[in-house]
Amino acid sequence: MTHLDAHQIPASEQSRYATAEDVSKLLAGDPNHLYLLTFLLTANHEKAERCFVAGLDDWAEGNVVFQEWAGAWARRVIVRNAIRIIEPQRGQAHPTEGVSQPRDKSSVLEMQVQDVPFASILSLNDFERFVYVLSVLERFSDQECAVLLGISREEVRETRALAQKHVLDYERMVTRSTTDPSNAGMS
């Protein structure tokens, strides 16, 4: 019995719906995009893996989706699972606020080498990172972000602007530290 049979979709209609094989092809075709999305949202490889696997489990439970929507559905499942796992909350302090040296020189350079170009995104607090990844990288509308995160569209816009400022500040700090090591960690 296939997922489609379980939902008693007439055979004439089944070709319009994504099968487990279609989803497998989607994941095999571009698993890196979905995993990268998961990693950028969770900022943790272990949590990203858990979130990604939970998305596959959601499919295995027999969800039915149109073939054309399979990619969007997979992204949405990843996002919802990441929100459930991380529980991003508005009002979190930025990781570098109130600290004169956000990271020591070796950490900045190590992160830069390991995670370029994502170190600046991973440096955001959970809430800013979710808004930034969803609205800037994944291009969800302000309305979609607001609904997913349980906030207003105005809060999405404000948080996105703040996150963009923090990303730019971080990138400037890294650039200064790599061009003049005596400036590492300076604000």
Helix (H, G, I), strand (E, B) or coil at 66: strand
| Mean pLDDT computed over 109-136 | 79
pLDDT at residue 63 above 90?
Answer: no
Contact at 8 Å (CB) between 89 and 42?
no
Q: How confident is the model at residue 25 (pLDDT cuts 50, 70, 90)?
A: low
User: Residue ranges of the domains in the chain?
Assistant: 3-86, 105-183
Tell me, what's the pLDDT at 53? 80
Which residues lie across from 66 on neighbouring strands?
Answer: 17
Which amino acid, one-letter code, is at 51? C
SS3 at position 44: coil
Give the residue among 89, 163, 83 at the shortest CA–CA distance from 128: 163
Q: What's the topology of domain 105-183?
A: Arc Repressor Mutant, subunit A (1.10.10)
Residue 175 has pLDDT above 90, yes or no: no
Q: Are 148 and 79 in contact (CB under 8 A)?
A: yes
pLDDT of residue 1: 38
- Distinct helix (H) and strand (E) counts, the chain: 11, 0
Q: Which two tokens stand for residue 155?
A: 């809060």
Share of the chain above pLDDT 70, in %: 57
Instruction: For residue 90, count CB atoms less than 10 angstroms from its CB and return exposed for 0-12, middle for 13-18, buried for 19 or more.
Output: middle
Whose structure tokens read 């008693």? 8
